[in-house]
Structure 1
Amino acid sequence: MAQTSRKDKKTFFDRMLDSIEYAGNKLPDPIVLFFILCGIILGASFIAGLFKLSATHPVTGETVVANNLLDGAGLVDIITGMVKNFSEFPPLGMVLVMMIGVGLAEQSGFFDALMKRSVVATPKKIIIPSIILIAIVGNVAADATQVVLPPIAAAVLMAFGFHPMVGLIVAYASTTGAFSANLMIGMTDTLAAGFTESGAQTVNPDYKANPAMNYYFIAVSTFFLLAVSTWVTYKFTIPRFGKYTGEMETMMTTVTKEESRGLKWAGISAVVFLVAVLAMIIPENGILRNPETGSIIEASPLMDGIVPLLTIFFLLPGLFYGMGAGTIKTSKDFGEMTGKAMSTMGPYIVLVFASAQFLAYFGDSNLGPIIAIKGADFLESIGFTGIPLFIVFILFVSLINILIGSASAKWAILAPIFVPMFMFLDYHPAFTQALYRVGDSITNPITPMLPYLVLLLSFAKKYDKNMGLGTLISALFPYTIFFGIFWILLIIVWYLLGIPVGPEGPIHL
């Protein structure tokens, strides 16, 4: 049970979170839990295959049939695909590569020195909003923010006197729950617009979607959710975890001469690296731009190489800090530090193996798309319109999001149904897409379909070896609830005022 320093009587919401935590912590160890889920999916696929459960895919018109993973061919795939499921698990390589840079920055003492300086330079009142803003805007760097920011936020907030779990929770909840809010246009906008365009062309063959057509709404949502996340953190997360009583290094209030020199060298290396990257981005023929379109975002080497670039961004300051501060004197020091950092990833690697099998089985069974299609058909048959339709649609998408983590995969299925349906009701495809993106984001913090929840648990166990999924999800749950409430209210007010959601993105046709 999470610690709390409050002595007053617990509210109904506190008791609800305690119940979620209690029930969740009764679950088996996450590794065992994922293997149990594998068994459930295999059994469900057998039953669905027996009854020939199917649905018509709205994009291709083909029939999506449930696959029985326990027949002969399925068993062969389970055996032969086990290694592939693990080795090709999307976050695995990214996490391990990123840990080389982040791990060296941590082991060399760079993060510690940077935190000490931040304690002196940053007012305590703005450190949490600053972390939240970085988490929200960081989504433009794809999934890297979900890997890098939570452990850094935990260490920084611990230096400010907060429980480190507060840093983990607020960083993860903000970067996942506010996934569709940002101040910049990114790959998410481009992918969503492509599927929206395809759906709208079934009604209007000449329709062209603008990737920036939700920009006004997502930009305002950034600051709106910044305020909501800050309030939730102070109202629920900080009181829930109370004071940290585990092992914690004593942070000195001044930076030593060696540390100051190391930070100077680290800062210079970071600036030089950023200038080099900008030199490959700013020119029209920059090598990190899309060679055909010149785009910095869409199908560009910059986006494809964001993880290696971020790894180098952490590796160089960590290395130069170590040389400047004297913590890295030989190549052996470098090897030992990077090796020690990677050794902490052992539990995560085992968890990845189990969760990778589960996600592979769920995808191969076709149960996710069938559930999404059947649910969409049911919602379409209800016949809601106006604000009730918006609310039901957002909640429907948020529930589907728990089953299918990929935003593009869900929208590929749902856009051809809901974009035309909303167009017939005189709603512009851009507005329909904005509704979808709200629903697609708010349940991200609590869905196990995002593999980063497992990574967050491994980070959490560093501070509490008995940490369970129940404690983790109960702490993330308030963000899902209040992001959902206030984000829905924002888009309803937006609708009532008739403000376009972005360039070429009116509310009505």
Structure 2
Amino acid sequence: MKRTDSSKSIRLLNFIEEKGNKLPHPVTIFILFTFIVIVASHILYVLGTSVTFEGVNNETMQTEMLTVKAESLLVPEGIAYMFSNVVSNFTSFVALGPVLVAMLGVGVAEKSGYISALMTNTVTKAPKRFVTPIVVLMGVLSNVAASVGYVVLVPLGAIVFLGFNRHPLAGLSAAFAGVAGGYSANLFIGTNDPLLSGITTEAAKILDAGYVVNPTDNWFYMFASTFLIVIIGTLITDKLIEPKLGKYEPAGALEENRKNGISAIEKKGLRWANLSVLLTIAAIALLVLPEHAPLRGEGGSIVSSPFMSSIIFLMMLIFLVPGTVYGLVTRTIKNDKDIAGLMTSSLETMAGFIVLIFFAAQFVALFNYTNLGTIIAVNGAELLKAIQLDGVLLLVALIFITTVINLFIAADSAKWAIMAPVFVPMFMQMGIAPEVTQVAYRVGDSSTNIISPLMPFFPLVVAFAQRYGKQNGVGTVISLMLPYSIAILICWTIFFTVWYLLGIPVGPGTSLTY
């Protein structure tokens, strides 16, 4: 990989990448981490380590006193858990199913030539200066549809950049920064808004039984934050990441195709394929938009609905249909056997990812079983309480402690279920509204997603990076994403501080004070 800049920041990132990639294979790293968890769990179990806190019961959604103790993986029950749950840990891992289902459609669109033709055709029309902000923005907006951004937009960001003769890892980084680094930001209400607001409501009821936090109560702040994340992502990508990566040398055939544009038959295939995309979206809209449509949820809800639950399958169709149409028109697909063959071929490219996910899933499941994450989170919360800050400094402290806890507990709802009953009532007693406390948590939760190996989709991003160089590993991804993480944390915290000091409501009908 060429290096074209000798600035101190780029030399530092190159050093991180070099040392990081000298680490063992990611599979080996997860195995080593698993052994560390096994040993640590038994030590803490023998010491009788436990934490008691007022938390939200995830089953009843009621606030109650919860006691969690360290569970050993070296006692008979722990050993039985390790051996008997290997298969279920793997098959239930959150990143596995969505990736494989989406790849059935994405693989057909890619290998039939549709994505390549679409990108090549776009190169001649789209202004190059808008590519990066569009990729970051689409990453941020994808969070309205849960995990679809990780599965579809991260690899697509690489393909888009390659189509513009730019380094694909820069596109992958920009998309990942938008999807994970800007996870809480959005122009719309996302799937995590009702979930987090429900937990916050239960925590607020500890002090005020009638207090309700609505899913829209952070919307003003998250709407404005979307543009901040896009600006940060664009500047880091264009000014730091791409200069660090240097020029990417694609395969000769791809480069020649880019120079010559697309043929007449490819243009025809592209027209029909794009039309099929519009028809597919229209068909989906008919299943969602009418008042009593079958994919609406209870009370006509779209946010909590079968539509949101089926978003990965619908995204698969949005790629599968035009990929098939394009292939039939251009004759890269001649029959149903070819379609099945392209699907099979696309999954073959995911073999390394599947192996990595097997070991990552075991580590995450065992870490959760031992309750080490909960113990770390509660002790971190107690530390923040002991600091005895107030006002905006207390909120900033919450942001930073959340970034640390995020490295150990990846699921935002799981962390908030532990932290909300501690911080929401405590901050209410200091005159801070629950909606504001929730915003501070979300800022911290998003900032370190992109450098957390425990984040379920992190192995997937490593696998995507290896498509553009087998030498790309965990060190590569962390070195690329670290500047985004630091910049998002600092800038978003400053943005939050200014917003709070100016007294701007974080959502419709909300107040900063309790």
Pairwise TM-score range, normalised by the shorter structure: over 0.9
Aligned to 1:188: 192
Bigger drift between 443-452 and 329-338 goes to: 329-338
Query: Given the alignment of the two structures, is residue 47 of structure 1 paired with residue 43 of structure 2, yes or no?
Result: yes
Deviation at 1:3, TM superposition (A): 2.9
Output the CA distance in 2 between the equivalents of 1:14 and 1:336.
43
Output the CA distance in 2 between the equivalents of 1:254 and 1:183.
35
Contact 2:105–2:317 at 8 Å: present in 1 too?
yes
Specify the SS of the correspondent of 1:32.
helix
Output the CA distance in 1 between the equivalents of 2:113 and 2:182.
31
The percent identity for this pair of structures is 40
Contact 1:428–1:507 at 8 Å: present in 2 too?
yes
Residue in structure 1 matching 2:7, options 10, 14, 18: 10
Aligned to 1:403: 408
* 1:175-203 deviations in Å (ceiling 9; x for gaps): 10000100000111111100110111111
Query: Given the alignment of the two structures, is residue 202 of structure 1 paired with residue 209 of structure 2, yes or no?
Result: no
Q: How does 1:359-508 map to 2 (within 5 A)?
A: 359-508=364-513
Contact 2:98–2:147 at 8 Å: present in 1 too?
no
Output the CA distance in 1 between the equivalents of 2:271 and 2:301.
34
Deviation at 1:152, TM superposition (A): 1.4
AA aligned to 2:48 is: K
Residue in structure 2 matching 1:315, options 320, 323, 326: 320
Aligned to 2:308: 303
Contact 2:21–2:471 at 8 Å: present in 1 too?
no
AA aligned to 2:301 is: S
Specify the SS of the correspondent of 2:234.
helix
Residue in structure 1 matching 2:300, options 276, 283, 294: 294
Aligned to 2:116: 112
Aligned to 1:83: 87
Output the CA distance in 1 between the equivalents of 2:194 and 2:181.
19
Deviation at 1:369, TM superposition (A): 0.5
* 1:229-249 deviations in Å (ceiling 9; x for gaps): 111111211111001135351
Output the CA distance in 2 between the equivalents of 1:284 and 1:159.
41
Specify the SS of the correspondent of 1:293.
helix
Specify the SS of the correspondent of 2:383.
helix
Residue in structure 2 matching 1:167, options 164, 171, 178: 171
Query: Given the alignment of the two structures, is residue 270 of structure 1 paired with residue 277 of structure 2, yes or no?
Result: yes
Contact 2:135–2:175 at 8 Å: present in 1 too?
yes
Output the CA distance in 2 between the equivalents of 1:20 and 1:241.
13
Specify the SS of the correspondent of 2:4.
coil
Deviation at 1:253, TM superposition (A): 4.1
Contact 1:431–1:505 at 8 Å: present in 2 too?
no
AA aligned to 1:305 is: S
Output the CA distance in 2 between the equivalents of 1:19 and 1:116.
35
Contact 2:138–2:178 at 8 Å: present in 1 too?
no
Output the CA distance in 2 between the equivalents of 1:149 and 1:53.
42
Specify the SS of the correspondent of 1:55.
strand
Output the CA distance in 2 between the equivalents of 1:468 and 1:102.
23
AA aligned to 1:96 is: L
Output the CA distance in 2 between the equivalents of 1:108 and 1:36.
40
Bigger drift between 141-150 and 323-332 goes to: 323-332
Output the CA distance in 1 between the equivalents of 2:396 and 2:455.
24
Output the CA distance in 2 between the equivalents of 1:479 and 1:124.
21
AA aligned to 1:434 is: V
Aligned to 1:153: 157
Contact 1:210–1:504 at 8 Å: present in 2 too?
no
Output the CA distance in 1 between the equivalents of 2:455 and 2:145.
16
Aligned to 2:53: 57
Contact 1:281–1:289 at 8 Å: present in 2 too?
yes
Deviation at 1:22, TM superposition (A): 3.1
* 1:87-127 deviations in Å (ceiling 9; x for gaps): 11121111111100000000100001101111011011101
Query: Given the alignment of the two structures, is residue 38 of structure 1 paired with residue 53 of structure 2, yes or no?
Result: no
AA aligned to 1:379 is: L
Aligned to 1:230: 234
Deviation at 1:25, TM superposition (A): 1.9
Contact 2:53–2:422 at 8 Å: present in 1 too?
no
Contact 2:443–2:493 at 8 Å: present in 1 too?
yes
Aligned to 2:289: 282
* Structure 2 gap segments, 5+ residues each: 56-63
Output the CA distance in 1 between the equivalents of 2:53 and 2:149.
33
Query: Given the alignment of the two structures, is residue 345 of structure 1 paired with residue 344 of structure 2, yes or no?
Result: no
Output the TM-score relative to the length of structure 2.
Answer: 0.96
AA aligned to 1:10 is: S
Output the CA distance in 2 between the equivalents of 1:203 and 1:462.
52
* Structure 1 gap segments, 5+ residues each: none
Output the CA distance in 1 between the equivalents of 2:470 and 2:316.
28
Output the CA distance in 2 between the equivalents of 1:46 and 1:504.
49
Output the CA distance in 1 between the equivalents of 2:188 and 2:364.
31
Output the CA distance in 2 between the equivalents of 1:267 and 1:26.
44
Query: Given the alignment of the two structures, is residue 67 of structure 1 paired with residue 71 of structure 2, yes or no?
Result: yes
Specify the SS of the correspondent of 2:261.
coil
Output the CA distance in 1 between the equivalents of 2:408 and 2:260.
47
